[in-house]
Chain A
């Protein structure tokens, strides 16, 4: 089974900050990685697929990069609506989620 490890688990940041979340796979997953945003009490929302492709309607301040085993999600300028929990998901072999990164207000 492929394991996904996100870091950090919690991130404290201010509006306007550049934020980076890392996701590492236990083995190569090529570019078969997605990122989701989840707010309390709500379903996850797809942000990025195939490691770096922005889902339609998602603000351009979100970007993804990486391939193989190391990936990053970057928010170029954090907005009030971005405080949420973010999950990576590999879909190279079945499906596995990272444990999540909570972005909270500093």
Chain B
């Protein structure tokens, strides 16, 4: 079964840091680009960051550029999101999602909640 499982969310103070992980299974992880997408409470979906299969191409939304870093370890079938200088507006459920190369994002993980509050 193709599956993505996020972890690492939690409560953090403004200005703090957090590292999210996404464990992949059931497919050849190293063959796919991967993404982080977030959803603030009661709001819509916002694409956050993308990384190509070999980490050659990395992209960020303007809202997180310079503060977040996406990375992956193909040997461990894992995707990461290092989040620094967190702000209240970063509070959201963070999903990892596989990019099916022009065929949409599928599957998605169950999400992990990040709350930035003092």
Contacts and interface: CB of A to CB of B under 8 A. Distances in A.
Interface of A: 1, 32, 34, 36, 38, 42-46, 48-50, 53, 55, 87, 89, 91, 94-100
B91 to A, nearest CB: 17
B106 A87 contact: no
Interface stretch (B16-24, B44-52, B64-72, B76-84): B44-52
A5 B23 CA distance: 33
A34 to B, nearest CB: 4
Contact of B47 (A36, A46, A55, A96): A96
Majority secondary structure, B binding face: strand
Interface in B82-118: 95, 100, 102-111
A98 B102 CA distance: 18
Contacts of B111: 43
B44 A46 contact: no
B118 to A, nearest CB: 26
Contacts of B27: none
Given A44-B45, A87-B45, A55 B102 contact: no
Contacts of A97: 37, 44-47
A83 B41 CA distance: 19
Query: Max chain B CB contacts within 10 Å: which of A36, A43, A48, A100?
Result: A43
A87 B44 contact: yes
14 contacts: A1-B62, A36-B105, A38-B45, A44-B108, A45-B106, A46-B104, A46-B106, A48-B104, A49-B102, A50-B103, A55-B106, A87-B45, A95-B50, A99-B44
A98 B44 contact: yes
Interface in B17-40: 35, 37
Top 9 closest A-B pairs, CB basis? Answer: A49-B104, A34-B104, A43-B108, A46-B106, A95-B47, A97-B45, A100-B44, A46-B104, A49-B103
